[in-house]
């Protein structure tokens, strides 16, 4: 059996079965999803993290590229009770270490009790516990990954749906899932995907009906240019955001954000709409949250489990953001109408800008 060690920040070293060789380090987190492992493993929001699957068998319906959210695996390593051969071979081909035959119930309980923590991984024929500990010693806190946006963003502008005749969206790519673009294209929008550090001039060149800040990994305060873009355009252009995007919008408009103990990750997070009283189930993946929205924003939806903000709207500005993933891959699809609301906000602004006939 290939040796595999997981060194935890609390001093313990777990031993498992190596399924894909290599060394890695990152923030240890878990997801409660029992489907959607392909979507989770290709979600850019897991950059610089080590992903633990709480569901015991990962890979029971194979690996299909059409389900990918990006063109590569983003977690630095993956842990499970058992990986199938399909998933193990995929992770090995991606150069991502994988370990199974772990008591993932204990791992998840450890994270829930102690919070997300640093870890080091070593997998291979001749690795030792010391190799995993060495990786742990080199592991940085998520807030210290100040350039993480460059690891997950496009390098230059990409345009999708050029033949569409709906609204024009400037999507600032801080680690956007592909299904966000797909959801906008399905509503006849033209989507200009901009780098995470796009300039004001870059956005002006698009002349968007909506400025959309995507999901992504890490601490929102490290996305300084995206914050600047919201500050610059919010008075004249509708602004939307998902996940990290909600946090960035809050930071830009006088709010504050904070790191959570272990975050929200999975497809079963209940969200309460404060106006309607309706509860919907949502897909989530984030380790930071809005602490205070500030005077320009109001909280419209909260997480049923811990009351953290899940939806924020503008008070005097056209702003709508969601902490969860309305595009919902792999599901559920309770909140897909968010994209309709975003584009309707832009359409309403356009109608107001048209002068009335004499």
Residues 28-43 pLDDT 10s: 999 999 899 999 999 9
Residue 300 pLDDT > 60, yes or no?
yes
How buried is residue 199: exposed, middle or buried, by Cβ count under 10 Å (0-12/13-18/19+)?
A: middle
Q: 49-58, 148-157, 283-292, 324-333: which has the minimum mean pLDDT?
A: 324-333
At residue 352, the pLDDT reads: 59
The pLDDT of residue 353 is 54
CB 176 within 8 A of CB 214: yes
Q: What is the mean pLDDT of residues 135-141?
A: 98
Average pLDDT rounded to a whole number, residues 41-55: 97
- CATH number at 3-140: 3.50.30.20
Q: How far apart are CA 185 and CA 67, in angstroms?
A: 17
**184 marked as part of a ligand binding site:** no
Q: Which two tokens stand for residue 145?
A: 């990954």
Domain boundaries, the chain: 3-140, 148-353
Q: Is the pLDDT of residue 176 over 60?
A: yes
- Ligand-binding annotation for 49, yes or no, is no
pLDDT at 358 over 50: no
Beta strand pairing status for 279-292 and 158-160?
Answer: unpaired
Give the pLDDT score at 80.
Answer: 98
pLDDT for 350: 57
Point out the catalytic residue in the list 243, 251, 264, 286: 243
* Percent of the chain surpassing pLDDT 90: 92
In this structure, the number of other CB atoms found within 10 A of the CB of residue 326 comes to: 24
Q: DSSP 3-state assignment of 220?
A: helix
Structure confidence at residue 222 (pLDDT): 98
Residue 48 clears pLDDT 60, i.e. is over it: yes
**Is 288 assigned to a binding site?**
yes
- Say if residue 93 carries a ligand binding annotation: no
Per residue in 147-174, pLDDT (tens digit) is 999 999 999 999 999 999 999 999 999 9
327 noted as active-site residue: yes
Write down the pTM of the prediction: 0.95
Buried b (16+ CB within 10 A) or exposed e, 160-197: bbeebebbbbbbbbbbbbbbbbebbbebebbbbbbbbb
Q: Which residues lie closer than 8 Å to 193 by C-beta, 6 or more apart?
A: 154, 157, 158, 159, 160, 171, 173, 176, 181
Bridge partners (DSSP) listed for residue 309: 302
CA distance 172 to 307: 28
pLDDT, averaged across the chain: 95
Kindly report, residue by residue over 179-201, the tens digit of the pLDDT.
Answer: 999 999 999 999 999 999 999 99
Region 232-261: mean pLDDT is 98
Q: Is 218 marked as binding a ligand?
A: yes
Judge whether 196 counts as a catalytic residue.
no
Q: Do domains 3-140 and 148-353 have the same CATH topology?
A: no
Q: Has 247 been labeled as part of a binding site?
A: yes
Predicted pLDDT of residue 332? 78
Tell me the fold of 148-353: Rossmann fold (3.40.50)
120 is known to lie in a ligand binding site = no
As given in the structure block, the two tokens for residue 23 are: 């060394």
Q: Assess contact for 241 and 248: CB atoms under 8 A.
A: yes
pLDDT-derived band of residue 349, with 50, 70 and 90 as boundaries? Answer: low
Do the annotations mark residue 287 as ligand-binding? yes
Q: Is the pLDDT of residue 63 over 70?
A: yes
Residue 325 appears among annotated catalytic residues: yes
Tokens 């090995």 locate to: 92
**76-124 pLDDT, tens per residue?**
999 999 999 999 999 999 999 999 999 999 999 999 999 999 999 999 9
Chain-centre distance for alpha carbon 11: 29
């Amino acid at each position: 059996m290939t040796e595999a060690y997981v060194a935890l920040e609390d001093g313990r070293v777990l031993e498992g079965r190596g399924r894909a060789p290599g060394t890695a380090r990152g923030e240890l987190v878990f997801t409660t999803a029992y489907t959607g492992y392909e979507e989770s493993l290709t979600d850019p929001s897991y950059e610089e993290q080590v992903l633990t699957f709480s569901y015991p068998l990962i890979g029971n319906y194979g690996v299909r590229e059409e389900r990918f959210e990006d063109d590569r695996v983003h977690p630095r390593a993956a842990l499970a009770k058992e990986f199938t051969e399909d998933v193990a071979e995929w992770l090995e081909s991606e150069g991502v270490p994988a370990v199974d035959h772990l008591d993932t119930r204990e791992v998840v309980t450890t994270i829930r009790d102690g919070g997300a923590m640093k870890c080091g991984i070593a997998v291979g024929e001749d690795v030792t516990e010391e190799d995993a500990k060495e990786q742990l010693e080199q592991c940085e806190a998520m807030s210290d990954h100040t350039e993480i946006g460059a690891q997950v963003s496009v390098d230059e502008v990409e345009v999708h749906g050029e033949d569409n005749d709906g609204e024009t969206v400037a999507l600032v790519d801080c680690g956007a899932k592909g299904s966000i673009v797909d959801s906008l294209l399905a509503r006849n929008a033209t989507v200009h995907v901009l780098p995470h550090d796009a300039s004001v001039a870059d956005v002006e060149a698009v002349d968007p009906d909506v400025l959309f800040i995507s999901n992504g990994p890490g601490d929102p305060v490290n996305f300084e240019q995206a914050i600047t873009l919201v500050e610059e355009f919010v008075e004249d252009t509708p602004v939307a955001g998902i996940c990290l995007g909600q946090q960035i919008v809050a930071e830009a408009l006088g709010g504050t954000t904070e790191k959570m103990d272990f975050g929200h990750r999975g497809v079963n997070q209940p969200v309460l709409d404060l106006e309607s009283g309706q509860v919907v189930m949502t897909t989530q993946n984030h380790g930071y949250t809005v602490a205070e929205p500030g005077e320009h924003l109001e909280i419209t939806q909260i997480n049923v489990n811990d009351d953290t903000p899940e939806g924020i709207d503008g008070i005097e500005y056209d702003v709508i953001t969601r902490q969860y993933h309305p595009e919902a891959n792999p599901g559920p699809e309770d909140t897909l109408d968010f994209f309709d609301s975003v584009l309707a906000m832009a359409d309403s602004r356009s109608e107001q800008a048209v002068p009335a006939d004499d």
